[in-house]
Amino acid sequence: MWTYLNGEFIPKEEVRVSPFDRGFLFGDSVYEVIPSYNNKLFLFDEHLERLKNSLSITNIPIPDPLKDLHPLIMELLKKNQFSNQAIYIQITRGVDPVRSHVSASTTIPTLFMSSAELEINPYRGSSHKEGLKVKLEEDIRWKRCDVKATTLLPNIIPFHREDESDTDEILFHDGEKINEGSKSNFFFVFDDLIVTPPKEQNILLGVTRNYILKRLSEEGFKVFEKEVRIEDLNKADEIWVTSSTKEIQPVHQVDNKVLPRKELEEYYWHKTLKILEEDLKSNC
Ligand code: PMP
């Protein structure tokens, strides 16, 4: 496998970043994940825009290679050969001569890219695989979850408790309010209404979330950004997650509450996934 670091393609086993990099010392870094299907990036412009937004909010300078990123990613995809891949882009504020909260104005940001084979969503097609197991967790993250920061301790700790080995996703709530998952956005279905928490809440604006919102409303579904409360979970007919690597995946249970069963064709998550699959076909 190949990686890209600051202007060079380097085999995965040989690539090195300094431990004095601010990403390592301070978590002073942001990242982005872009899916590619049949060697074509999906929603590249949207991901690049979000990455630039993360850089702008954190005041990390835009690394030079970001100005013409597409051909670099295409080169990495070609070197790593899988037809479907997830591309990970990490940008840190760089390596400073002296360890200090305040970075030197001359410090050059570090740009690292890697890719991995993208496992095709196991819920595509007519799969009857059981949905995800989700645990509710108080949201102790910082208040700028719109920044895709690499500092992910609160997202990671819940998966490392002793009794959490079969937990697929954590659902963060802020008091009574539902926010999002540790690695995905959440959608809820109440009768024929499809709802996802609004952008005003402390969430990452998922590229997949935004795309699904747009496509469902174009297709005439009743879809809204609206606050969802913990008590509403008992009334939900369906819950699903969205992300760039997971696409759309249904939830089977949240804590001890099991979601109602329907025929596959009746699920809104299934109809939505069909729309996405068709769109992906025409993207390729
Ligand atoms: N929320 C969080 C906290 C995430 O880590 C992710 C995955 N990057 C998402 C939502 C989904 O975002 P996207 O659809 O852009 O992958």
Query: pLDDT tens-digit profile of 224-272?
Result: 999 999 999 999 999 999 999 999 999 999 999 999 999 999 999 999 9
- Any residues with CB less than 8 A from the CB of 163 and at least 6 apart, and which? none
pLDDT higher than 80, residue 14: yes
- Give dist(CA 74, CA 76) in Å, integer: 5
**Residue owning tokens 């690292």:** 112
Partnered with residue 88 across adjacent β-strands are 33, 114
Q: What is the pLDDT of residue 283?
A: 79
Catalytic residue of the set 148, 235, 246, 271:
148
Nearest alpha-carbon partner for 146 in 198, 205, 67 = 205
Give the side-chain half-sphere CA count within 13 A for 252.
Answer: 10
Q: What is the pLDDT of residue 127?
A: 65
Return left, alpha or beta for 203; rule: phi > 0 is left, psi -120 to 50 is alpha, else beta.
beta
Tokens of 240: 């699903």
Residues whose beta carbon lies within 6 Å of some atom of ligand 1: 33, 180-181, 183-185, 204, 206-209, 242-244
What's the gap in Å between 99 CA and the centre of ligand 1?
A: 31
Tens-digit pLDDT profile for residues 98-135: 999 999 999 999 999 999 999 999 999 766 789 999 99
- For atom 1 of ligand 1, the residue with the nearest CA is 184
Nearest alpha-carbon partner for 132 in 231, 30, 241 = 241
Query: Which of the listed residues 44, 49, 174, 243 should we mutate to test ligand 1's pocket, taking the one with most ligand atoms within 8 A of CB?
Result: 243
- Give dist(CA 129, CA 281) in Å, integer: 23
Query: Which of the listed residues 49, 143, 184, 186 should we mutate to test ligand 1's pocket, taking the one with most ligand atoms within 8 A of CB?
Result: 184
Q: Is 148 a catalytic residue?
A: yes
Mean pLDDT of the region 155-173 = 91
Q: Which domains does the chain have, with CATH numbers?
A: 2-119 (3.30.470.10), 124-283 (3.20.10.10)
- This prediction has a pTM of 0.97
Mean pLDDT of the region 205-217 = 98
- Give dist(CA 248, CA 238) in Å, integer: 12
Higher pLDDT, 157 or 126: 157
What's the gap in Å between 105 CA and the centre of ligand 1?
A: 31
- For atom 2 of ligand 1, the residue with the nearest CA is 183
Tokens of 106: 């001359």
Q: What is the pLDDT of residue 67?
A: 93
What's the gap in Å between 241 CA and the centre of ligand 1?
A: 10
What's the gap in Å between 17 CA and the centre of ligand 1?
A: 25
Q: What is the pLDDT of residue 178?
A: 98
Query: Which of the listed residues 50, 89, 204, 241 should we mutate to test ligand 1's pocket, taking the one with most ligand atoms within 8 A of CB?
Result: 204
What's the gap in Å between 185 CA and the centre of ligand 1?
A: 6
- Any residues with CB less than 8 A from the CB of 99 and at least 6 apart, and which? 20, 25
